[in-house]
Amino acid sequence: MEPTNPANATTEPSIRKDPLNGRKLNVGIIAPYSFETPGGVQFHIRDFAEELMRRGHHVAVLAPGRRTRDMPLWVTTNDSSFSIPYNGSIARLSYFGFVGPRTRRWVKQGHFDIVHLHEPETPSLSHKPLTMLHHPPFVGTFHASFDPYPLALRIFQDYLRHYISPLKAIIGVSPAAMETVDHYAPRDIERDIIPNGINRPFFADAKPRPEWQGTPDAPTIGYLGRMGESRKGFAVFAKAASRVLSSYPGARFLCAGDGEADGRKILESIDRTGALASHFEFLGRISDREKARFYQSLDLYVAPQTGGESFGIVLVEAMAASCAVVASDLKAFRDVAEDGRDAALFGNEDAADCAARIVELLGDTERLERLRVAGFKRSSQYDWSVVADRVLEVYARVLS
Protein backbone atom coordinates (compact mmCIF):
# COMPACT_ATOMS: atom_id res chain seq x y z
CA MET A 1 0.00 0.00 0.00
CA GLU A 2 1.63 3.29 -1.05
CA PRO A 3 1.20 6.09 1.49
CA THR A 4 -0.32 9.20 0.01
CA ASN A 5 1.49 12.49 0.29
CA PRO A 6 -0.98 14.76 2.09
CA ALA A 7 0.61 17.84 0.60
CA ASN A 8 0.36 16.42 -2.92
CA ALA A 9 3.63 18.16 -3.61
CA THR A 10 6.51 19.17 -1.41
CA THR A 11 8.59 22.29 -1.49
CA GLU A 12 11.50 23.47 0.59
CA PRO A 13 10.09 25.26 3.66
CA SER A 14 10.70 28.98 3.40
CA ILE A 15 13.38 30.49 5.61
CA ARG A 16 12.10 33.13 7.98
CA LYS A 17 13.82 36.45 8.49
CA ASP A 18 17.50 36.13 9.32
CA PRO A 19 17.98 36.46 13.11
CA LEU A 20 21.55 37.71 12.45
CA ASN A 21 20.53 40.37 9.90
CA GLY A 22 22.97 39.11 7.29
CA ARG A 23 25.95 38.61 9.56
CA LYS A 24 27.96 35.48 8.71
CA LEU A 25 29.48 33.64 11.63
CA ASN A 26 32.53 31.48 12.21
CA VAL A 27 31.03 28.68 14.32
CA GLY A 28 32.95 25.99 16.19
CA ILE A 29 31.03 22.86 17.20
CA ILE A 30 32.43 20.26 19.58
CA ALA A 31 30.96 16.75 19.56
CA PRO A 32 31.13 14.47 22.59
CA TYR A 33 30.97 11.21 20.61
CA SER A 34 33.10 9.77 17.83
CA PHE A 35 31.86 10.07 14.24
CA GLU A 36 33.30 6.61 13.52
CA THR A 37 30.09 5.04 14.81
CA PRO A 38 27.38 7.59 13.97
CA GLY A 39 24.41 8.10 16.25
CA GLY A 40 21.68 10.63 16.85
CA VAL A 41 23.89 13.39 18.27
CA GLN A 42 26.45 13.06 15.48
CA PHE A 43 23.72 13.19 12.80
CA HIS A 44 22.26 16.26 14.50
CA ILE A 45 25.64 18.01 14.42
CA ARG A 46 26.29 17.00 10.80
CA ASP A 47 22.92 18.18 9.51
CA PHE A 48 22.96 21.43 11.49
CA ALA A 49 26.48 22.21 10.25
CA GLU A 50 25.41 21.61 6.66
CA GLU A 51 22.39 23.89 7.11
CA LEU A 52 24.60 26.67 8.49
CA MET A 53 27.06 26.30 5.61
CA ARG A 54 24.18 26.38 3.13
CA ARG A 55 23.36 29.81 4.58
CA GLY A 56 26.92 31.06 4.14
CA HIS A 57 28.33 30.57 7.64
CA HIS A 58 31.71 28.95 8.26
CA VAL A 59 31.60 25.83 10.43
CA ALA A 60 34.29 23.61 11.92
CA VAL A 61 33.60 20.52 14.04
CA LEU A 62 35.89 18.76 16.51
CA ALA A 63 35.09 15.16 17.46
CA PRO A 64 36.76 12.25 19.29
CA GLY A 65 38.23 9.27 17.48
CA ARG A 66 39.82 8.76 14.10
CA ARG A 67 38.91 9.86 10.62
CA THR A 68 36.99 7.62 8.27
CA ARG A 69 36.87 7.94 4.49
CA ASP A 70 33.31 9.22 4.42
CA MET A 71 33.85 11.88 7.11
CA PRO A 72 33.37 15.50 5.95
CA LEU A 73 36.56 17.55 5.61
CA TRP A 74 35.22 20.15 8.03
CA VAL A 75 35.32 17.56 10.83
CA THR A 76 38.61 17.39 12.76
CA THR A 77 39.29 14.38 14.99
CA ASN A 78 41.73 14.05 17.89
CA ASP A 79 42.68 10.39 17.15
CA SER A 80 41.67 9.32 20.65
CA SER A 81 38.55 7.62 22.02
CA PHE A 82 37.42 4.90 24.38
CA SER A 83 34.11 3.04 24.72
CA ILE A 84 31.93 3.06 27.82
CA PRO A 85 28.32 2.05 28.52
CA TYR A 86 26.21 5.22 28.59
CA ASN A 87 22.43 5.64 28.86
CA GLY A 88 21.75 2.08 27.72
CA SER A 89 24.14 2.26 24.76
CA ILE A 90 27.89 2.29 24.08
CA ALA A 91 29.45 5.72 23.70
CA ARG A 92 32.90 6.46 22.24
CA LEU A 93 34.29 9.38 24.26
CA SER A 94 37.65 11.13 24.61
CA TYR A 95 38.80 12.57 27.92
CA PHE A 96 42.25 11.59 29.20
CA GLY A 97 45.85 12.62 28.49
CA PHE A 98 46.42 15.60 26.19
CA VAL A 99 42.75 15.78 25.16
CA GLY A 100 42.05 18.89 27.23
CA PRO A 101 45.00 21.03 26.00
CA ARG A 102 44.43 19.97 22.38
CA THR A 103 40.73 20.83 22.57
CA ARG A 104 41.36 24.22 24.13
CA ARG A 105 44.07 24.93 21.53
CA TRP A 106 41.57 24.08 18.75
CA VAL A 107 39.12 26.60 20.22
CA LYS A 108 41.80 29.28 20.55
CA GLN A 109 43.20 28.81 17.06
CA GLY A 110 39.76 28.72 15.44
CA HIS A 111 39.01 32.40 16.21
CA PHE A 112 35.33 31.47 16.41
CA ASP A 113 32.51 33.94 16.94
CA ILE A 114 30.71 31.32 18.99
CA VAL A 115 31.43 27.74 20.14
CA HIS A 116 28.57 25.26 20.39
CA LEU A 117 29.17 22.40 22.85
CA HIS A 118 27.02 19.28 22.65
CA GLU A 119 26.48 17.27 25.84
CA PRO A 120 29.00 19.35 27.86
CA GLU A 121 28.06 17.37 30.96
CA THR A 122 29.64 14.19 29.54
CA PRO A 123 33.32 13.38 30.23
CA SER A 124 34.48 14.05 26.69
CA LEU A 125 35.74 16.81 24.37
CA SER A 126 32.79 19.15 24.84
CA HIS A 127 33.54 19.20 28.58
CA LYS A 128 37.09 20.52 28.12
CA PRO A 129 36.79 24.15 26.88
CA LEU A 130 34.74 25.21 29.91
CA THR A 131 37.94 25.72 31.95
CA MET A 132 39.32 28.37 29.54
CA LEU A 133 39.80 31.84 31.03
CA HIS A 134 39.44 33.61 27.69
CA HIS A 135 37.11 32.14 25.12
CA PRO A 136 34.32 32.90 22.65
CA PRO A 137 30.74 32.70 23.95
CA PHE A 138 29.72 29.10 24.70
CA VAL A 139 26.28 27.64 23.93
CA GLY A 140 25.44 24.14 25.14
CA THR A 141 22.94 21.68 23.70
CA PHE A 142 21.81 18.85 25.97
CA HIS A 143 20.39 15.72 24.35
CA ALA A 144 20.17 13.15 27.13
CA SER A 145 17.11 12.38 29.22
CA PHE A 146 17.11 10.12 32.27
CA ASP A 147 14.13 8.67 34.07
CA PRO A 148 14.80 8.00 36.84
CA TYR A 149 17.51 10.62 37.40
CA PRO A 150 20.75 8.62 37.83
CA LEU A 151 22.83 8.41 40.98
CA ALA A 152 26.02 9.45 39.13
CA LEU A 153 24.49 12.80 38.20
CA ARG A 154 23.23 13.28 41.75
CA ILE A 155 26.76 12.76 43.06
CA PHE A 156 28.33 15.22 40.60
CA GLN A 157 25.42 17.68 40.56
CA ASP A 158 27.19 20.48 42.45
CA TYR A 159 30.36 19.98 40.42
CA LEU A 160 28.44 20.20 37.14
CA ARG A 161 26.53 23.28 38.29
CA HIS A 162 29.85 25.08 38.79
CA TYR A 163 31.59 23.57 35.76
CA ILE A 164 28.99 24.52 33.13
CA SER A 165 28.43 28.01 34.52
CA PRO A 166 30.46 29.60 31.66
CA LEU A 167 27.66 28.70 29.22
CA LYS A 168 25.79 31.74 27.91
CA ALA A 169 22.75 29.73 26.80
CA ILE A 170 21.34 26.24 27.26
CA ILE A 171 19.37 24.35 24.63
CA GLY A 172 17.44 21.19 25.46
CA VAL A 173 16.26 19.09 22.53
CA SER A 174 12.99 18.27 24.30
CA PRO A 175 11.09 18.97 27.52
CA ALA A 176 12.36 15.61 28.79
CA ALA A 177 15.98 16.62 28.15
CA MET A 178 15.44 20.00 29.80
CA GLU A 179 13.97 18.35 32.89
CA THR A 180 17.24 16.45 33.30
CA VAL A 181 19.34 19.60 32.75
CA ASP A 182 17.34 21.53 35.33
CA HIS A 183 18.70 19.25 38.06
CA TYR A 184 22.28 20.49 37.67
CA ALA A 185 22.40 23.61 35.45
CA PRO A 186 22.72 27.07 37.04
CA ARG A 187 19.33 28.76 37.14
CA ASP A 188 20.59 32.07 35.74
CA ILE A 189 21.57 30.65 32.33
CA GLU A 190 18.93 31.31 29.66
CA ARG A 191 17.15 28.20 28.41
CA ASP A 192 15.43 27.24 25.16
CA ILE A 193 13.80 23.99 24.08
CA ILE A 194 14.73 23.50 20.42
CA PRO A 195 14.12 20.06 18.89
CA ASN A 196 16.34 17.99 16.67
CA GLY A 197 15.92 18.73 12.98
CA ILE A 198 15.29 16.76 9.82
CA ASN A 199 15.48 17.45 6.10
CA ARG A 200 11.74 17.16 5.64
CA PRO A 201 11.60 17.31 1.82
CA PHE A 202 14.19 14.51 1.69
CA PHE A 203 11.79 12.14 3.46
CA ALA A 204 8.61 13.55 1.89
CA ASP A 205 9.85 13.19 -1.69
CA ALA A 206 11.40 9.71 -1.37
CA LYS A 207 9.95 6.96 -3.53
CA PRO A 208 8.80 3.68 -1.98
CA ARG A 209 10.45 0.41 -2.99
CA PRO A 210 7.81 -1.88 -4.53
CA GLU A 211 9.31 -5.03 -2.99
CA TRP A 212 8.87 -3.52 0.48
CA GLN A 213 5.27 -2.46 0.03
CA GLY A 214 2.37 -4.47 1.38
CA THR A 215 -1.25 -5.10 0.51
CA PRO A 216 -4.41 -4.79 2.65
CA ASP A 217 -4.13 -8.50 3.56
CA ALA A 218 -0.35 -8.53 3.86
CA PRO A 219 0.70 -5.16 5.34
CA THR A 220 4.31 -4.22 5.95
CA ILE A 221 5.19 -3.04 9.44
CA GLY A 222 8.61 -1.52 10.13
CA TYR A 223 11.20 -1.34 12.90
CA LEU A 224 14.42 0.69 12.85
CA GLY A 225 17.08 0.42 15.54
CA ARG A 226 19.87 -1.59 17.11
CA MET A 227 18.30 -4.95 17.93
CA GLY A 228 20.97 -5.86 20.47
CA GLU A 229 20.14 -2.91 22.74
CA SER A 230 17.25 -3.81 25.01
CA ARG A 231 16.10 -0.18 25.32
CA LYS A 232 15.40 -0.08 21.57
CA GLY A 233 12.54 -2.49 22.21
CA PHE A 234 13.00 -5.13 19.52
CA ALA A 235 11.74 -7.82 21.93
CA VAL A 236 8.54 -5.80 22.45
CA PHE A 237 8.17 -5.45 18.67
CA ALA A 238 8.69 -9.19 18.11
CA LYS A 239 6.17 -10.20 20.78
CA ALA A 240 3.64 -7.76 19.33
CA ALA A 241 4.25 -9.21 15.86
CA SER A 242 3.35 -12.71 17.05
CA ARG A 243 -0.04 -11.34 18.14
CA VAL A 244 -0.59 -9.27 14.99
CA LEU A 245 -0.21 -12.42 12.87
CA SER A 246 -3.37 -13.88 14.37
CA SER A 247 -5.34 -11.05 12.70
CA TYR A 248 -3.09 -10.53 9.66
CA PRO A 249 -1.40 -13.89 8.90
CA GLY A 250 0.24 -12.42 5.80
CA ALA A 251 1.89 -9.47 7.61
CA ARG A 252 5.57 -8.77 6.96
CA PHE A 253 7.91 -7.15 9.48
CA LEU A 254 10.79 -5.19 7.95
CA CYS A 255 13.67 -4.58 10.35
CA ALA A 256 16.43 -2.07 9.58
CA GLY A 257 19.53 -1.54 11.70
CA ASP A 258 22.38 -3.45 13.31
CA GLY A 259 21.99 -6.67 15.25
CA GLU A 260 20.34 -9.25 12.98
CA ALA A 261 21.89 -12.10 15.01
CA ASP A 262 20.48 -10.62 18.21
CA GLY A 263 17.11 -10.16 16.52
CA ARG A 264 16.99 -13.78 15.39
CA LYS A 265 17.83 -14.99 18.90
CA ILE A 266 14.94 -12.97 20.28
CA LEU A 267 12.58 -14.39 17.66
CA GLU A 268 13.72 -17.93 18.48
CA SER A 269 13.14 -17.33 22.20
CA ILE A 270 9.53 -16.37 21.40
CA ASP A 271 8.83 -19.12 18.85
CA ARG A 272 11.27 -22.02 18.34
CA THR A 273 9.30 -23.37 15.36
CA GLY A 274 10.64 -20.61 13.11
CA ALA A 275 7.12 -19.65 12.01
CA LEU A 276 7.46 -16.15 13.45
CA ALA A 277 10.92 -15.63 11.96
CA SER A 278 9.58 -16.45 8.48
CA HIS A 279 7.59 -13.19 8.58
CA PHE A 280 10.66 -11.08 9.41
CA GLU A 281 13.06 -9.52 6.89
CA PHE A 282 16.33 -8.05 8.15
CA LEU A 283 17.66 -5.22 6.00
CA GLY A 284 20.81 -4.45 8.01
CA ARG A 285 22.18 -0.94 8.29
CA ILE A 286 20.64 1.20 5.54
CA SER A 287 21.73 4.51 4.02
CA ASP A 288 19.84 7.75 4.60
CA ARG A 289 18.32 7.44 1.12
CA GLU A 290 17.17 3.89 1.77
CA LYS A 291 15.83 4.90 5.17
CA ALA A 292 13.57 7.50 3.55
CA ARG A 293 12.34 4.89 1.05
CA PHE A 294 11.86 2.45 3.93
CA TYR A 295 9.43 4.78 5.70
CA GLN A 296 7.62 5.52 2.45
CA SER A 297 7.09 1.80 1.80
CA LEU A 298 5.50 0.90 5.13
CA ASP A 299 1.87 0.64 6.15
CA LEU A 300 2.92 1.35 9.74
CA TYR A 301 6.12 2.27 11.53
CA VAL A 302 6.51 1.03 15.13
CA ALA A 303 8.78 2.72 17.69
CA PRO A 304 8.86 0.31 20.68
CA GLN A 305 11.74 1.92 22.61
CA THR A 306 11.52 1.29 26.34
CA GLY A 307 13.60 4.16 27.76
CA GLY A 308 16.63 6.42 27.45
CA GLU A 309 15.05 8.51 24.68
CA SER A 310 15.16 12.29 24.97
CA PHE A 311 13.58 12.89 21.56
CA GLY A 312 11.67 10.96 18.93
CA ILE A 313 13.67 11.62 15.75
CA VAL A 314 12.55 8.32 14.18
CA LEU A 315 8.93 9.34 14.73
CA VAL A 316 9.51 12.68 13.02
CA GLU A 317 11.30 11.07 10.06
CA ALA A 318 8.45 8.60 9.54
CA MET A 319 5.87 11.39 9.84
CA ALA A 320 7.73 13.43 7.20
CA ALA A 321 7.41 10.42 4.88
CA SER A 322 3.62 10.34 5.53
CA CYS A 323 3.94 7.05 7.41
CA ALA A 324 1.57 6.43 10.31
CA VAL A 325 3.38 5.75 13.58
CA VAL A 326 2.69 3.50 16.58
CA ALA A 327 4.98 4.36 19.51
CA SER A 328 5.52 3.53 23.16
CA ASP A 329 4.24 6.21 25.50
CA LEU A 330 7.63 7.49 26.64
CA LYS A 331 7.51 11.17 27.58
CA ALA A 332 9.78 12.13 24.66
CA PHE A 333 7.49 10.30 22.22
CA ARG A 334 4.33 11.76 23.76
CA ASP A 335 5.76 15.24 23.20
CA VAL A 336 6.37 14.56 19.50
CA ALA A 337 3.01 12.80 19.08
CA GLU A 338 1.13 15.54 20.97
CA ASP A 339 -0.16 12.94 23.44
CA GLY A 340 -1.54 10.67 20.73
CA ARG A 341 -2.97 13.19 18.27
CA ASP A 342 -0.24 12.65 15.67
CA ALA A 343 0.77 9.04 16.44
CA ALA A 344 -0.90 6.08 18.15
CA LEU A 345 0.61 5.37 21.58
CA PHE A 346 0.77 2.13 23.58
CA GLY A 347 1.85 1.32 27.12
CA ASN A 348 5.62 1.16 27.44
CA GLU A 349 6.92 -2.46 27.24
CA ASP A 350 3.35 -3.75 26.75
CA ALA A 351 3.55 -5.95 23.64
CA ALA A 352 -0.15 -6.85 23.82
CA ASP A 353 -1.14 -3.18 23.82
CA CYS A 354 1.29 -2.50 20.95
CA ALA A 355 -0.29 -5.30 18.90
CA ALA A 356 -3.79 -4.01 19.67
CA ARG A 357 -2.90 -0.53 18.38
CA ILE A 358 -1.39 -2.00 15.20
CA VAL A 359 -4.42 -4.19 14.47
CA GLU A 360 -6.85 -1.34 15.20
CA LEU A 361 -5.12 0.99 12.77
CA LEU A 362 -4.73 -1.58 10.00
CA GLY A 363 -8.47 -2.25 10.26
CA ASP A 364 -9.47 1.43 10.16
CA THR A 365 -8.23 2.98 6.94
CA GLU A 366 -9.83 6.36 7.69
CA ARG A 367 -8.03 6.69 11.02
CA LEU A 368 -4.81 5.47 9.44
CA GLU A 369 -5.07 8.21 6.82
CA ARG A 370 -5.86 10.84 9.47
CA LEU A 371 -2.69 9.87 11.34
CA ARG A 372 -0.63 10.12 8.17
CA VAL A 373 -1.95 13.60 7.45
CA ALA A 374 -1.58 14.77 11.06
CA GLY A 375 1.95 13.37 11.33
CA PHE A 376 3.03 14.93 8.04
CA LYS A 377 1.72 18.32 9.19
CA ARG A 378 3.41 17.92 12.59
CA SER A 379 6.78 17.19 10.93
CA SER A 380 6.92 20.66 9.35
CA GLN A 381 8.08 22.29 12.59
CA TYR A 382 11.11 19.97 12.72
CA ASP A 383 12.53 20.89 9.32
CA TRP A 384 16.06 22.28 9.58
CA SER A 385 14.96 25.55 7.95
CA VAL A 386 12.83 26.16 11.05
CA VAL A 387 15.07 24.57 13.68
CA ALA A 388 18.23 26.36 12.50
CA ASP A 389 16.44 29.71 12.67
CA ARG A 390 15.67 29.06 16.31
CA VAL A 391 19.28 28.15 17.11
CA LEU A 392 20.51 31.25 15.28
CA GLU A 393 18.11 33.33 17.36
CA VAL A 394 19.95 31.98 20.44
CA TYR A 395 23.30 32.85 18.82
CA ALA A 396 22.07 36.38 18.05
CA ARG A 397 20.89 36.88 21.62
CA VAL A 398 24.19 35.61 23.04
CA LEU A 399 26.31 37.74 20.70
CA SER A 400 24.29 40.87 21.41
* Mutual angle of helices 365-379 and 313-320, in 10-degree steps: 110
Q: Determine, yes or no, domain membership for 252.
A: yes
Buried residues in 95-117 as b, exposed as e (16+ CB within 10 A): beeebbebbbebbeebebbbbbb
Q: Determine, yes or no, domain membership for 9.
A: no
Domains of the chain: total: 2
> For residue 386, which amino acid is it?
V
> So what's the pLDDT on residue 381?
94
Category of 137 on φ-ψ map: left (φ > 0), alpha (ψ -120 to 50) or beta: beta
Same domain? For 241 and 182 the reply is no
> So what's the pLDDT on residue 10?
44
Q: Determine, yes or no, domain membership for 58.
A: yes
Domain membership of residue 74 as a residue range: 26-197+383-399
Same domain? For 245 and 149 the reply is no
Same domain? For 152 and 216 the reply is no
Same domain? For 186 and 133 the reply is yes
- As a whole number of angstroms, the distance between CA 330 and CA 60 comes to 34
> So what's the pLDDT on residue 12?
47
Buried residues in 21-30 as b, exposed as e (16+ CB within 10 A): eeeebebbbb
Total length of the chain: 400
Question: Where does 211-343 have alpha helices with state H?
Answer: 234-244, 260-270, 288-297, 313-320, 331-337
**For residue 218, what is the domain's CATH number?**
3.40.50.2000
pTM: 0.87
> So what's the pLDDT on residue 70?
85
> So what's the pLDDT on residue 11?
44
Q: Determine, yes or no, domain membership for 287.
A: yes
- As a whole number of angstroms, the distance between CA 379 and CA 321 comes to 9
Q: Determine, yes or no, domain membership for 121.
A: yes
Same domain? For 269 and 147 the reply is no
Mean pLDDT by 10 residues, the chain (400 residues): 45 63 96 87 95 97 91 91 72 85 96 97 90 94 82 85 94 93 93 96 97 96 95 97 97 97 97 96 95 98 93 95 97 93 97 98 96 97 96 96
For residue 251, which of 264, 261, 237, 265 has the smallest C-alpha distance? 237
Same domain? For 370 and 387 the reply is no
Same domain? For 193 and 272 the reply is no
What phi, psi does 231 have (nearest 5°)? Answer: -70, -15
In sequence order, what are the residues at sequence separation of 6 or more whose Cβ sits closer than 8 angstroms to the Cβ of residue 89?
39, 226, 229, 231, 308
> So what's the pLDDT on residue 36?
87
Same domain? For 231 and 104 the reply is no
